[in-house]
Structure 1
Amino acid sequence: MSRSKLGRVMGLGLVALLWSPWLAACQAPLPEQSPPPGTSVSSRPADSKKVILTTFTVLADMAQNVAGDKAVVESLTKPGTQIHTYEPTPSDIIRAQQADLILDNGLGLERWAQKFYGNLQGVPHITISQGVEIIPLTEGAYANQPNPHAWMSPQNALIYVENIRQALVNIDPNHARTYNQNATAYSEKIKAVDQQLRAVFEQLPPQQRTLVTCEGAFSYLTRDYGLQELYLWAVNSDQNGTPQQVRQVVDAVRAKQVPVVFCESTVSDKSQRQVAQETNSQFGGIFYVDSLTDANGPAPTYLDLLTTNLKTIQQGFQLPIQPPGAKP
């Protein structure tokens, strides 16, 4: 066993002590946990697949599309998890210590990440939003900080894919050709959805081009397609659905005569339904943003997330399901 690998194994014994805020609450010692077969860095053969851990499900799907069958990709969080307020556990640290690389979104999405990384030894991590033209939040507790939801723009997703490709090639150059080919093919699929979105939004009358959501997660998307954005709260870690937030959106929806409002899957839609009721607008349904669904849900992949949201927009605004110029 090499010195670096031995150090990482020994580091696992220190994880519990380093993560004191959570372990202090534990009444009993942690049970022994074995990593999934083939994922222990110390025991894997030199030619085994690299293990890539991502902070949430959207990034895991993107990375899997680039990695193909040449690497093992896992998400730290499960489908349906609210990433903004997630609190990692000691077992998460053990999983992360077994990884060859961790991919995160950055831009303040994983506010727990700095502390989390501080309890790991020798595991590299890459922020894959690097290169995105940042849109700052304009209100709430995190005003003037970056809006973290850059992946909601297909154009930004292409930047994510390129950063993932570079990261995988750097840690696993033997499979660079596969990663390069997969990234190119996946990017073409994202570009196709981008064109679908553009065709749909072009059907909206200018006076209706306002997207009303619960969280301000669509700033990058609305910028790219020439829409206005209106939301109840800026990020899900803010106060959600206060009377003042509801009143402001009610007044704006009335003034703009917006016909439909939406919410997201990881938060309660109660406040937005109240907006719809008070303004006589329609509640158009649920968007997927911070998490994918499981395999049986409507958004098990990132591309499904985009196209499911697209269909929700079409139905909410009562637009033709088949946009002009789209292939049947």
Structure 2
Amino acid sequence: MKFIPQHLLLTALLCGGTGGTALAQAQDKKTVLTTFTILADMAQNVAGDRLNVVSITKPGAEIHGYQFTPSDLVNARGASLILNNGLNLERWFEKFTRQLGRVPSVTLTEGITPVNITSDAYRGKPNPHAWMSPKNALIYVENIRKAFVKLDPAGAKTFNANARKYSDQIRAVDTRLRTQLASLPKNQRALVTCEGAFSYLTRDYGLSEHYLWPVNAEEGQGTPRQIKAVIDAVRAEKIPAVFCESTVPTRGMEQVAKEAGARFGGVLYVDSLTDARGAVPTYLKLLQKDADTILKGLGTR
């Protein structure tokens, strides 16, 4: 069998597109598609060298309302499995699979107890960003492991060992983040963001949460009512810094910072990894980078 260097595997993982199909043909391995890059990174850690893992969406993409292309469908027809998040995250996924036809899919949030959204049109619906809790990430990994063992029983030993190792790494990051975020003074234990994508993280680490919109809005700016509500909260609680996500414009939150007398603390990563040269090329680095940005923004670093 022709050897394919590891850097090509990573390129296929992060770039998606025709590279994944060509790589699968060259290596004679089964290809697993994921709906976005974070799931691809998790899956690649479990798969090791036995499977090709390719993300449909590319680094930096806005995944809620992604507009899939004809080439996405062509590439997906060569896949053996598709992994999706569920919890209404990928609003395009049902249409995608309907047009695709017979490629099995697995929803990785099965078994997770969702945090429900409490405001606006999404009130009562599950917050889809469950991976922002390392504890939930362990459930993702277990669901990936089971899916891969079913897909490729001969690789069960590899998948089981990889899943154990990766789960240990997730637990280590969870412990580190818990210690670091616990250092925040009581009057600064508040996270203010554009999208309400951090409900699982704030729950895990004992922070309060404010946001402009619960799930990425079409316009990505926030309404005057939403902006005013966050300004009022930042003023009332004397929150020193506010943040926004990497996949949406920051103008609305910069307005909040200016009018509330707070700092704009920087960009947080939620829905997408960067490429290998960027700040968060892996899920574990995403969690740590966000924690570092929060701590620095709130003035404890």
TM-score strictly above 0.5: yes
1:14 is matched with which residue? none
Distance 2:34 2:20 in 1: 16
C-alpha RMSD of the superposition = 1.6
Alpha-carbon deviation of 1:200?
1.4
Alpha-carbon deviation of 1:140?
2.6
The AA in structure 2 aligned to 1:309 is: D
**1:39 is aligned to 2:24:** yes
Distance 1:66 1:190 in 2: 13
Deviations 1:177-213 (A, max 9, x none): 0111111111111111101111112111222211100
Distance 1:108 1:161 in 2: 20
Deviations 1:21-74 (A, max 9, x none): xxxxxxxxxxxx89733535xxx89xx321000000000000000001111000
- Residue aligned with 2:24, SS: coil
Alpha-carbon deviation of 1:143?
2.1
Q: Is the CA contact (8 Å cut-off) linking 1:165 and 1:180 kept in structure 2? A: yes
Which residue, 72, 97, 116 being the options, matches 1:136?
116
2:280 is matched with which residue? 299
Please show how residues 143-158 of structure 1 align to structure 2 within 5 Å.
Answer: 143-158=123-138
**1:275 is aligned to 2:256:** yes
Q: Is the CA contact (8 Å cut-off) linking 1:214 and 1:263 kept in structure 2? A: yes
For structure 1, the 5+ residue unaligned runs are: 1-32, 321-328
User: Which range moves more in the overlay, 192-201 or 113-122?
Assistant: 113-122
Distance 2:271 2:23 in 1: 29
Q: Is the CA contact (8 Å cut-off) linking 1:84 and 1:237 kept in structure 2? A: no
User: Which range moves more in the overlay, 115-124 or 249-258?
Assistant: 115-124
Q: Is the CA contact (8 Å cut-off) linking 1:85 and 1:237 kept in structure 2? A: no
Distance 1:237 1:268 in 2: 11
Deviations 1:59-103 (A, max 9, x none): 000000000111100000000000011011111111111100000
Q: Is the CA contact (8 Å cut-off) linking 1:261 and 1:283 kept in structure 2? A: yes
- Residue aligned with 1:137, SS: coil
Distance 1:268 1:142 in 2: 21
1:100 is matched with which residue? 80
TM-score (norm 2): 0.90
Which residue, 257, 260, 276 being the options, matches 2:238?
257
**1:119 is aligned to 2:99:** yes
**1:52 is aligned to 2:52:** no
1:178 is matched with which residue? 158
Aligned residues: 283
Q: Is the CA contact (8 Å cut-off) linking 2:212 and 2:227 kept in structure 1? A: yes
Distance 1:198 1:59 in 2: 23
Q: Is the CA contact (8 Å cut-off) linking 1:141 and 1:238 kept in structure 2? A: no
2:196 is matched with which residue? 216
Alpha-carbon deviation of 1:114?
1.1
Distance 2:107 2:126 in 1: 14
Deviations 1:213-248 (A, max 9, x none): 010000011111111110011111355322111110
Distance 1:248 1:35 in 2: 45
CA separation of 1:264 and 1:65: change in aligned 2, threshold 3 A: same
Task: Pick the structure with greater CA Rg.
Answer: 1
Alpha-carbon deviation of 1:279?
1.5
For structure 2, the 5+ residue unaligned runs are: 1-17
1:287 is matched with which residue? 268
Alpha-carbon deviation of 1:128?
0.3
The runs of at least 4 consecutive aligned structure 1 residues that moved more than 4 Å come to none
CA separation of 1:203 and 1:175: change in aligned 2, threshold 3 A: same
TM-score (norm 1): 0.83
Distance 1:78 1:205 in 2: 37
Q: Which has the higher helix share?
A: 2
| % same residue | 56
The AA in structure 1 aligned to 2:111 is: G
Distance 1:35 1:219 in 2: 33
